[in-house]
Chain A
């Protein structure tokens, strides 16, 4: 397989297979949550489930001051990494072209050097997150093999993207193919792991907020 053949497989059939597994997997996971259903609350309500749930979906993005201070590393590194992820995925010009190709809509991009800076910061944040996970007593206790797998498949697109952008070591088509392959690996793994939180956090925050809000407590 030549470099170009490799790249076109990754962009073509490879991408299609990964996308199908991703979409079907996410659909199954969300369906099996929602289909379980939940009993209606028979106690006299003090607040609305719907609006309290929606409120918490938003407000839980920001910890209160004392909570932030108690887990400052986790929150800081987590924030930086998620922001970096968002910016690099959605505001890098070639990515936007890809989205336009697949879903037909596009939006303005950020200059490449800006995205590059976000990439570097995200890579650093991910390394800090890994080091923290391996050194903190609680995190080490909670961590399973899946957590390391998930870290790795999240890290690979950043590092391959960075390398491809700077055309380090290998020739460009191979670098881009490696990058796309790493993203395919990420989206294939996503539905089977805790990476699902990228979708289910809306549900869990809503339920948590609804349960609390029903009793009149803003959570």
Chain B
């Protein structure tokens, strides 16, 4: 990617639409969004106020798309967007925001501030002001096919292990399968049990599924860094594979932003509706439950809670399904305070975990999650995002709290009746 200030400004211009204009026109600087943001509540730094992070986009909107701003620009009165300014804003936009969208739920004038920050990133990246970690991940995603550099042989090796361990077959490139399952690199490398769990559940549910050798990676660094071209290319690979295998539904795995990328941004990135459905794994499993395809044995009696991954719950609309499933195998399920669409982020989403520069602040703001957990003191936490899971584990370890993390899909598979 060759980046320049001019490209950045053009990218910001492209992001302005009637919703953005309405949002900026309505902001009254009330500061309510700050209190909804864990980067503010845990650091107390006023510059981390969500609406402040959108300042690059606001300046472009004001000077280019408002009559009075244009007059001001001619008179040299408007605030400029230059490299120095963008450098200043880079850490706010990338290190101090997970795009969790909690701010968008509380803004009294209804501004979708997370969307505005997501749009601001398009300009930052095009201007060359994205963090190294995300640039590297995006390059690997495009050239290798995975942000973590996981290639097909690595997946094949994991599949062989899983098949050996479980005695189940993991179908690859099966034309005409009903479901095509995507995986995150995180699952392939750190949680291959997920693949085994899917194989077990889908066999029991008696539905056909497959993994594509050409597009198995679910994550999308393009939407985290804010480069729509890259994001679209990564989505297109999945579209091509799904069409080639003629599947009815593509399943997004336990990964928050992957779901946002393929389910909600995907068709808009490639510019046409999909001719297949996209569902999160918990949506599919809940459908199996409703159709009586899941038989469960034994219940977890330990105190379980569910961590809503932001992009799946608040930003994705999958809120009830995970709870329906947990209640199948748990008789001691407790909600955290501020749950569901108002849950607090783990602090590692939106590319923050891929950006080493943000490690320190990420662990600092984890205090919010810890405080939330302290109120209910669960024995274990279930989540449906492997990124949340791994960084919740890291955060809890850092704060010397011993609460194990569980994958919803894997735990469900363990409780399937023979």
Contact = CB atoms under 8 A, between A and B. Distances in A.
A70 B35 contact: yes
A36 interface: yes
Interface in A56-100: 56-57, 60-61, 63-64, 66-67, 70-71, 74-75, 78
Interface stretch (A15-23, A133-141, A160-168): A133-141
Contacts of B318: 216
A155 interface: no
A206 B66 CA distance: 20
A44 B109 contact: no
Given A71-B32, A217-B315, A64 B342 contact: yes
Contacts of B268: 39, 41-43
Given A42-B271, A196-B26, A205-B110, A36 B65 contact: yes
A201 B46 contact: no
Contacts of B265: 43
A148 to B, nearest CB: 11
A47 B264 CA distance: 13
B272 interface: yes
B264 A32 contact: no
A201 to B, nearest CB: 5
B267 interface: yes
A44 B22 contact: no
Interface in B1-33: 16-23, 25-32
A70 B17 contact: no
Given A42-B267, A74-B31, A142-B52, A63 B108 contact: yes
A33 B18 contact: yes
Contacts, number: 177
Given A36-B18, A70-B36, A215-B317, A143 B267 contact: no
Given A39-B268, A205-B110, A207-B112, A144 B29 contact: yes
A201 B110 contact: yes
Interface string A118-162: 000000000000000000111111111001000000000000000
Size class of B's contact patch? 35 or more
A142 B113 CA distance: 15
B30 A74 contact: yes
Contacts of A56: 110
Nearest to B318: A216
B110 A194 contact: no
Nearest to B266: A43
Contacts of A61: 108
Contact of B314 (A29, A70, A217): A217
Nearest to B341: A217
A209 B108 CA distance: 12
B218 interface: no
A88 B67 CA distance: 32
A219 to B, nearest CB: 6
B46 A141 contact: yes
A117 interface: no
B267 to A, nearest CB: 4
A112 to B, nearest CB: 30
A96 to B, nearest CB: 28
A207 to B, nearest CB: 4
A137 B44 contact: yes
B298 interface: no
B167 interface: no
A150 B23 CA distance: 18
Contacts of A136: 31
6 contacts: A43-B268, A60-B108, A138-B46, A142-B49, A204-B111, A217-B315
Interface of B: 16-23, 25-32, 34-36, 40, 44, 46-47, 49, 51-52, 65-68, 104-112, 115, 263-268, 271-274, 277-278, 313-319, 337-338, 341-342
Given A44-B277, A70-B35, A141-B52, 16 more contacts: A43-B273, A66-B338, A67-B105, A71-B30, A74-B32, A75-B32, A141-B47, A142-B51, A143-B29, A194-B26, A203-B18, A204-B25, A204-B111, A208-B23, A208-B110, A219-B110
A-B pairs with the 4 shortest C-beta distances? A205-B110, A216-B317, A208-B110, A141-B46
